[in-house]
Amino acid sequence: MTFEPGSIAARDLDAVLHPQTHLGQHQQTGPMMLKRAEGVYMYDDQGKQYLEGLAGLWCTALGYGNEELARTAYEQMKELSYAQLFASKSHEVGIRLAEKLKEMVPLHKSKVFFGNSGSDANDTQVKLVWYYNNVIGRPEKKKIIGRHKGYHGITLAAGSLTGLPPSHKGFDLPLAGGRFLHTDLPHHWRCAEPGESEEAFATRLADNLDALIRREGPETVAAFIAEPVMGAGGVIVPPATYFEKVQAVLARHDVLFIDDEVICGFGRTGQPFGADTYGIRADSISLAKALTSAYQPLSAVVIKDEIYQAFVDAAPEMGMFGHGFTYSGHPVACAVGLKVLEIYERDKLFEHAAALAPQFQERLQRFRDHPLVGEVRGVGLIGAVELVADKQSKAAFDPPGRVGAEVLKHCHANGLICRAIGDVMAFCPPLIITSAQVDELFDKFERAMASALEWANGEGLLAA
């Protein structure tokens, strides 16, 4: 495709390096130009309307164009547009947000560290784990275990925690030194042995984790990090009893549990946090995305008081706690975050999401018998369908991602934005979505799948 010189598409190709994009394909197809958004709808530069089925990047829980949040940011900019938290400085809006998060998260007696993104939150988690073990006299206990297909961000440390090959390829990740390990993907449908129940599968994975820790040496393994539901890895819902059994292994070996709630936090799974849904007792929690409904960049790491107390006890020897960012606790971001949490509570949006979840999941499950679909999975207001070439053998399409890209093209044609994670179609709409809009979302997806099936049959892609 050629682009008219001076057009917005040509200017994009000339100026912007796009994240998480196939750059060769982008040069051929150009960008999808989004112009404005309101509620759960986005509009491109041609005026076409799209229902936003992924809440941006799993983040715009309150949708778009919220006047309260715009006014909150404006008023905060007028009063205190910036203030740092370095060297004992503080401001009330940051304190109030930290207090509110302490009240909300399922973690007893905690402190809150503010950052800018989910990636830097998990980068911070790595540094805090290493610092903690240093100051309590366990300098050899530094290894952190993630999971295959887990996603924890894209910076050097967070990208090393991530278990997705495209995040590593060409970037020399995971970082060398053997401090970043990965254990089994907890995907029962794809990874279980024939006839293996969810409970038996969870037992096997917990046993494998135990064996990994023993093989590495428990005295060297510091932490385990997990998303309650794996988002960018394909919306992988944990099998029954999985986290119960994993936590028993971690307790046995004195290994910390880092709960990455960046996608699952704030009502997404049908309860306030994924930890509530799956009985996770974490030592620290990462938050971002829906914390501000993406109206401002903000993350938070919440740690147990005993970890913080170890830092305080070590201060005479260590001196300054040498971690933090220029924008840690940015007052405008904190003010917006505080207002977002107020709206969640005032408008009972967690309860609203939980009430819509049965309808959302029922509409999703209708695709189980579709010829292109191998598995449907989800919880709360998050879900996915996995596309396969053969429903019986679960054989994937070759090359991977081609069919997902085709389905996504038809979704866009039908006015629906979702995400193709290879050949997994993922959904995560704003929490403000209505019952009628849930039906609209899946009606549009149904039409897209019908078009994609016609194409796939024409290409001879399905097993006979």
Q: Do residues 388 and 395 touch, judged by C-beta distance below 8 A?
A: yes
Q: Do residues 380 and 354 touch, judged by C-beta distance below 8 A?
A: yes
Residue 441 exposure: Cα atoms within 13 Å on the Cβ side: 30
Q: What is the pLDDT of residue 2?
A: 80
Domain 68-346 sits in CATH at 3.40.640.10
Separation between Cα atoms, residue 139 and residue 130, nearest integer Å: 8
Strand stretches in 154-291, DSSP E? 180-183, 221-226, 256-260, 284-287
The whole model's pTM is what? Answer: 0.97
Q: What is the pLDDT of residue 3?
A: 87
Separation between Cα atoms, residue 452 and residue 404, nearest integer Å: 9
| Segment 55-103, tens digit of pLDDT | 999 999 999 999 999 999 999 999 999 999 999 999 999 999 999 999 9
Q: What is the pLDDT of residue 109?
A: 84
Entry field: residues in the chain = 464
Residues carrying CATH 3.90.1150.10, the chain: 32-65+348-459
Q: What is the pLDDT of residue 353?
A: 98
Q: Do residues 144 and 175 touch, judged by C-beta distance below 8 A?
A: no
Strand stretches in 229-334, DSSP E? 256-260, 284-287, 299-304
Q: Do residues 287 and 297 touch, judged by C-beta distance below 8 A?
A: no
Q: What is the pLDDT of residue 117?
A: 98
Given a cut of 50, the residues of the chain with pLDDT beneath it are none
Terminal alpha carbon distance of the chain? 35
Residues carrying CATH 3.40.640.10, the chain: 68-346
Fold classification of 32-65+348-459 is Aspartate Aminotransferase, domain 1 (3.90.1150)
